[in-house]
Chain A
Amino acid sequence: MVELVIFVLVGSAAIGGALSVVFAKNPVYAAMGLLGTLFSLGVFYVVNLGHLIAAVQVIVYAGAVLTLFLFVIMMIGVDRVEDTSEPLRFQRQLVIGLAAIMVVTVGALVFGGEFAWVPLSVAGPIPNGTVENIAGIMFTDWLLPFEVTALLLTIGAAGAIALAYYAPGAPEESE
């Protein structure tokens, strides 16, 4: 019962934040909506006993990534009017059709009871995502992907630094 109340409240907050990302005119409001969605997902992780990833979600996403987004929004400028006319023919109709299909399908799954997979509370012991348990898997079975992500992060940092070195004087002939 408690989980139902949490699901309804936090889930509606997540959907509301996601909608404000899409429909907000000001990019700062879109970033705030994204923050709400990310935080709501962090609450869902706690409900599903993912303690470590909930903490990482709030620190990395709501902290670092959102701050980076807001930094770039402020740098680029928020007062620009976005051109919302559609140059591609039939794209608006296609999007509306896809959205209608999604709403009908999810509604049928939820209200028709077809999507009653394993009820969460009877599926045996819930895996407890503490730091100890996550590390026990990650540093044994998943050690190679872990090292590869370290390499990926190094390459990403080096790439960002290389992209930041841009000489305004001679952009064309240097290519």
Chain B
Amino acid sequence: MIEVTAGWYLSLAAVLFSIGLLGILVRRNALIMFMCVELMLNAVNLTFVAAGRALGNLEGQVAVFFVLVVAAAEVVVGLAIIVAIFRRRESASVDELASLRG
């Protein structure tokens, strides 16, 4: 009988984190890139929960709670920035936002 260990959860979290990183590297739409950031945050949350269970303390789940709150604040501000940029530039593509280039 195969036992599901913490390593399984950590491997799954690594795969999810890498998929999110892949999306940030290959996609151009700011909204999709933002969703990929959320994906990476959630992968980290899964490692917190798995490690907290393996080590037998609750701090992992408390850390998930704080990551969730910070992610919610980040989504609010990030989406407001994307909407403001879209109203000014009529585009959500990050390649067209090169006016800050030195």
- Give the distance in Å from the alpha carbon of A159 to the alpha carbon of B76 in the complex: 9
For chain A, residues 81 to 125, give those with C-beta under 8 angstroms from any C-beta of chain B: 82-84, 87, 91-92, 94-95, 98-99, 102, 106, 109-110, 115-121, 123-125
- Interchain CB contact under 8 A, A83 and B79: no
- Interchain CB contact under 8 A, A44 and B25: no
Say whether, besides A102-B18, A153-B72, A110 and B62 are in contact (CB < 8 Å).
Answer: no
- Give the distance in Å from the alpha carbon of A1 to the alpha carbon of B4 in the complex: 8
- Interchain CB contact under 8 A, B61 and A52: yes
Cβ contacts under 8 Å, A3 to chain B = 4
**Separation in Å of the B64 CB from the closest CB of chain A?**
5
What's the A-B contact tally at a CB cutoff of 8 Å? Answer: 232
A126 close to chain B: CB less than 8 A: yes
- Interchain CB contact under 8 A, B4 and A75: no
- Interchain CB contact under 8 A, B36 and A152: no
B100 close to chain A: CB less than 8 A: no
A163 close to chain B: CB less than 8 A: yes
Say whether, besides A37-B42, A50-B49, A163-B80, A30 and B62 are in contact (CB < 8 Å).
Answer: no
Contact of A72 among B3, B22, B71, B82 (CB under 8 A): B82
- Interchain CB contact under 8 A, B38 and A34: yes
- Interchain CB contact under 8 A, A44 and B9: yes
Say whether, besides A69-B35, A123-B56, A166-B87, A53 and B49 are in contact (CB < 8 Å).
Answer: yes
Which B residues form the contact surface with A (CB < 8 A)?
A: 1-12, 14-16, 18-23, 25-29, 31-32, 34-36, 38-39, 42, 45-46, 49-50, 52-59, 61-62, 64-66, 68-77, 79-84, 86-88, 92-93, 95
9 contacts between A and B (CB under 8 A): A3-B4, A53-B68, A60-B68, A69-B79, A84-B28, A106-B15, A119-B5, A137-B62, A159-B76
